[in-house]
Every structure is written in C-alpha cells, then in structure tokens.
Amino acid sequence: MSDRAVIYTRISNDPEGRELGVQRQEDDCRALADRLGMTVVRVFTDNDVSASTISKKSRPQYAAMLAALDAGEADVIIAYSNSRLTRRPAEWIGLIERANAGKLRIQTVASGSHDLTTADGRAVALTIAAWDAAEAERTSERARRAKAQAATEGLWRGGRRPFGYDSDGMTIREDEATLIRQATRDVLAGRSLRTIAKEWAGAGVLGTSGANHEATRIRRILLRPRNAGLLEARGEVVGKAAWPAIVTEDEWRALVAAMNNPARKSTPGPERRWLGSGIYKCGECGATVYVSGSRGRPYYTCSASKGHPMRHQPTVDMAVIAVIHEYLNDPRIVDRLRPIEAESESADDRSRAEQLRARLAVVESDYYDGNLTGRQLREATERIAGELTKIADREAARLSGSAFADLLSVPDPAAFFDASTLDRRRAIVDTLLEVTIHRGRRGRPPGWRPGEPYADLESVQIRPRGGTDDE
C-alpha cells in the first residue's frame, strides 16, 4: 500500500488573485508524489498569505492540514520547498512533535526530504527555518525603511495601483478621478453608496484588482486622504503628499464628516424603493416610516409601532411631490439648495483647523516628553477633536448645496426633479421638507367609494425644513 500524502501550497503575494503560483506548486508536488509512488489524498492551499514570523494573518488551510494529519488521513506532507510550508521555527517544532508521535515525513520538490524523527533531520529543518525567518524579517525591515523614507518625503510608498491614479501612484488617471469627484458631490447631496456602486457597475467600471466596486469599496476609496493630496500613516493624516489632489481638502473633510455622521446610513439594508421611506416621520413617536401593505396597496407605516398612524403611500407621495413642485418654483425656497457664499467664513475655518491640528501635535509631543498626564492628553484631544468636527460639519453644510448645482441651472427644476433618480429625489425632499404623519379623524373622507384607497391628507403635515407653515 502506497504512502498517503497531503500537498500544501502557499504564495505570499497574489495581487491579481489568479493563483497561478500555487497551481504550479501543486503540479510539481503531484509529479514528485508520482515519482515516489505516493497517493495524494488532499490538497491544502493558502493563497496570498505570508508564513513569516512577522505576519499576523492566519493560515486556515495550514491549520486544516494539521487537523487532517492528527486525524490520521496522511503520513507525508509534500510541499514545493521548506519556505512554502512555513518560515516559522515554532511551527517546525509543532511538526517535529507530530513526527515524534507517529510517522510524519516531509518531502519537498526543491529542499529535499526531512525525517523529523531523527536528531539530524530535526536540526537541519530548524536551521533552515531559522534562516528563512531571518531573511523574511530582513526583507520586511528593508521595506519598512523604504516606506518610512517615502513618508518623510511625502512620496507614494508602493503597493497596488490606487484607484484614480496611474501605477506610479503620482499621476492622476482622469477617467477614474472624474468618477471620484462626482461620487464625492453625490454623497454630499445625499445619494447612497449603493446607487453609485450600481451606476459604476452598469458603466463597466472595475477596481484596480479587476473586481466590481461594491458600496463598501467605494466608501473606502472616497474616504482616502490621498484624494485630497494628503499623506496618511497609521490611520492618521501626517501632512501634504507629493501627488496631486483629486478633490480639495475642504471637500474631502466635508465628505468625511458627512459619511461619519451617525445619522447617515451608508448601507441602509434593503435598497429604498419609495420616496418617503426612512424620511417621513410618525407624528406619534417621531420614528421614521417604511412601506408595508397587502393586495398591492402600500401604506406608510411607523417603524416603531404598527398601532401608530399609517397612510396610503401613493396618495401621500403625490401630495409631497405637489409641494416640491411649488417650492422649486419659489426662489426663496430654492435658495436653500444654493451653496452658501461665505468664502471668508470658509477661509477662517480652514485657518482655525490648521491651528487646531498643529496644537494637537504639540499636545501629543508634550505627552511623550512627560509634560502631560494621560488624562490631560485625553481631555485636550477630545476638546480639539470636538472643535474640528464642528468645523467639518460647517464645511459640509457649505458644500452640500453645490451638489444640487445641476438642479439649479435648469429652466424647469420641477421637471428635472421628476426625471431624476429616486435617490436624488429623496435627497431633495429630505433637504427641503419635513413630512409628518399624524393620527387622523375617524371614518372615510367625503366621496369615498368602497374598494378605493384613501388617505386623510389633512393629518399629513408637510412643511419647509427648519421653517414654519406660513413661510
């Protein structure tokens, strides 16, 4: 009976996800098994995962292989080389313990075989593992030094091509940059990331890895400091970068404030299908409403209690749209959508924000020099961060109107509203109106006929956001 073997393959870096390296390893390992007369019972593969001592990533297939060996499924491990199996001396010790408990042997295509039940075999294996680990650590040290120097100079530190830039990380790729600029404006206008992702997918826009853009991926792209020409280190902005910006720093900081606002749901669960779901409010408790219904009759229903008021969705939406049409023809109301022309205020806020960030750096330096306690650092940091948040919120308010520039530039804003996508119409409604559904009078309205839906519109309050009924 031939020896039973498992094959383990691994590659540290596979940015394109094509698994060509691990497939070649498996082919060579199978050829070795044939030459040795062994039967391959299973293949375990960890793709795009490092096995060095400095890596924090788990290797699930390596753990599964050990479990199979412990269960007696095989007697031999076949790998392309020692370094493909592991670079960690501690893991070699684990293999030695298994060999001492049974008949485990290791065969490699490039590094020969190891009999871990003998002193010489164990010494050779551990020596090779120690040198593999040292080489991996030296490689990491060189990479860290190179990245640290690049960070000091504000240069790109390498890696996969960032979306919006060429492979040098420094040159703007205009077709992708245009998408980032438009998505930034759209999010500030209240559009959902999910809708933007659908539009990108429909246009055939792919990420730098060749994958489609999902909402979470677009969120990460838009939140990058790199878009504003800023350098990031350990999750913090540390200064200006050498590459050009795609959006202004004000736009980026306003976007960060908007997307980190707890009131915003960037992934709101099921996609919105109705004009007022999640926007209109229940007059009983203040909760938002959603749409429910049976027999094809949708109703706006309180999300907190089914005992609260509910109204026929098409009737309420038609009333809201009628008010929107009226407002979009009223210059006083449309002015709410215009960018706030306060360049002096914006410049003052930018200057103040720079002073606060400089102050934060001084506070941190004082703490590391022992001049501040941890409590004092925390209090100062919270105070400065709070003021920076207020500045970002003001800038978001100033910039949000610019996202409606196309609506304000057309001769018939009401017709533009009707032709817009649902999320754009929802954003306009949410910006202009407060819609509240109150409890209505009992009974059917005058003229009602059996089988017809109805809604007591007198109990649906529609008013300008932040205004009064007679504004």
Segment 315-331, tens digit of pLDDT: 899 999 999 998 888 77
CA 95 to CA 115: how far, in whole Å? 11
Give the predicted TM-score (pTM) of the model.
Answer: 0.45
* pLDDT score at 248: 86
Over the chain, what is the mean pLDDT?
76
Identify the residue with better confidence: 443 or 458: 458
Mean pLDDT of 111-117: 69
DSSP letter string, 241-276: -SSPPSS-HHHHHHHHHHHT-TT--SS-SSPP-SSS
- Extract the tokens encoding 281: 């409010």
CA-closest candidate to residue 80, choices 185, 174, 179, 8:
8
* pLDDT score at 383: 84
* pLDDT score at 281: 93
Contact status, residue 468 vs residue 434, Cβ threshold 8 Å: no
How many CB atoms lie under 10 A from the CB of residue 464?
18
- Which stretch of 68-82, 195-209, 366-380, 421-435 has the lowest confidence by average pLDDT? 366-380
- Extract the tokens encoding 127: 């020596």
Contact status, residue 267 vs residue 215, Cβ threshold 8 Å: yes
Checking if the pLDDT of 72 tops 70, the result is: yes
CA-closest candidate to residue 243, choices 145, 179, 173:
173
User: Which pLDDT band, with edges at 50, 70 and 90, does 433 fall under?
Assistant: confident
Mean pLDDT of 269-293: 83
* pLDDT score at 317: 93
- Extract the tokens encoding 428: 């306009």
Task: Give 134-169 pLDDT, tens digit per residue.
Answer: 555 554 444 444 444 444 444 555 678 899 999 888
Highest mean pLDDT among 13-17, 83-87, 231-235: 83-87
Helix orientation angle between 89-101 and 119-152, rounded to the nearest 10 degrees: 160
Task: Give 165-193 pLDDT, tens digit per residue.
Answer: 998 888 999 999 999 998 988 887 777 88
* pLDDT score at 282: 93
Identify the residue with better confidence: 434 or 261: 434
| Architecture of the structural domain at 174-259 | Alpha-Beta Complex (3.90)
CA-closest candidate to residue 43, choices 77, 14, 83, 16:
77
* pLDDT score at 437: 92
SS3 224: coil
Domain 4-138 has CATH 1.20.1050.10: no
Helix orientation angle between 174-188 and 215-222, rounded to the nearest 10 degrees: 100
* pLDDT score at 193: 87
Checking if the pLDDT of 408 tops 90, the result is: no
Residue 286 Ramachandran class (φ > 0 left, ψ -120 to 50 alpha, else beta):
left
CA 129 to CA 126: how far, in whole Å? 5
DSSP letter string, 25-50: HHHHHHHHHHHHTPEEEEEEEEET--
∠ CA 124-125-127, rounded to 5°: 65
- Extract the tokens encoding 397: 């308010």
Identify the residue with better confidence: 374 or 31: 31
Of the chain, the end-to-end C-alpha distance in Å amounts to 92
- Which stretch of 16-20, 334-338, 448-452 has the lowest confidence by average pLDDT? 16-20
CA 325 to CA 412: how far, in whole Å? 10
